[in-house]
């Protein structure tokens, strides 16, 4: 089953922790807010994505079943 990554832009405050934990899929814009390079989470990065979601202090990063 595939997983899709998404960011709740209202909840996000641009701390940038997600990009540190998952740089393969997340960049930061010039203000420090996440920009998703890819929304589909490859199997090899699923564990890293779960850690990034769990570590988000604002609960703004999510993975959804597709």
- pLDDT of residue 3 exceeding 90: yes
Mean pLDDT across the stretch 21-33? 97
| Distance from C-alpha of 35 to C-alpha of 43, rounded to nearest angstrom | 20
Bridge-based pairing state of the strands 61-65 and 3-7:
antiparallel
> pLDDT tens digits, residue range 37-57?
999 999 999 999 999 999 999
The candidate with the shortest Cα–Cα distance to 23, out of 3, 38, 4, is 38
35, pLDDT greater than 90 = yes
φ, ψ at 2 (rounded to 5°): -80, 155
- Find out if CATH 3.30.70.20 is the number for domain 3-65: yes
């Amino acid at each position: 089953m595939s997983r899709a990554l998404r960011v709740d832009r209202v909840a996000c405050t641009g701390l940038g922790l997600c990009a540190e934990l998952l740089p393969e899929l997340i960049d930061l814009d010039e203000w420090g807010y996440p920009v998703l390079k890819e929304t589909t989470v490859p199997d090899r990065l699923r564990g890293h994505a779960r850690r990034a979601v769990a570590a988000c202090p604002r609960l703004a990063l999510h993975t959804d079943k597709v």
